[in-house]
Amino acid sequence: MAAPALVELGVQPLAAHLFILYFGVIADLTPPVAVAAYAGAGISGD
C-alpha cells in the first residue's frame, strides 16, 4: 500500500491519498501500458 508508506515518509495523509488517486486516473493514459490508446484504436478501427 503506497499511501501509508508516503505518510510514514512525512507526506500529509490527504496529499498522499490524492496522489494515489491521480496516479490511478492518469495510468490509463500514459505509457508503457496506455490502455486508453488500445481502446481508442479498437474503436476507430486502426
pLDDT score, position 12 = 96
Do you find a cis peptide bond into 32, omega within 30 degrees of 0? yes
Q: What is the pTM of this model?
A: 0.57
pLDDT score, position 1 = 78
All cell numbers assigned to 23: 496516479
- Separation of CA 5 from chain center: 17
**Per-block average pLDDT, block size 10, for the chain (46 residues)?**
91 95 79 77 85
pLDDT score, position 46 = 63
C-alpha span between 7 and 16 (Å, rounded): 7
pLDDT score, position 27 = 74
pLDDT score, position 5 = 94
C-alpha span between 14 and 7 (Å, rounded): 9
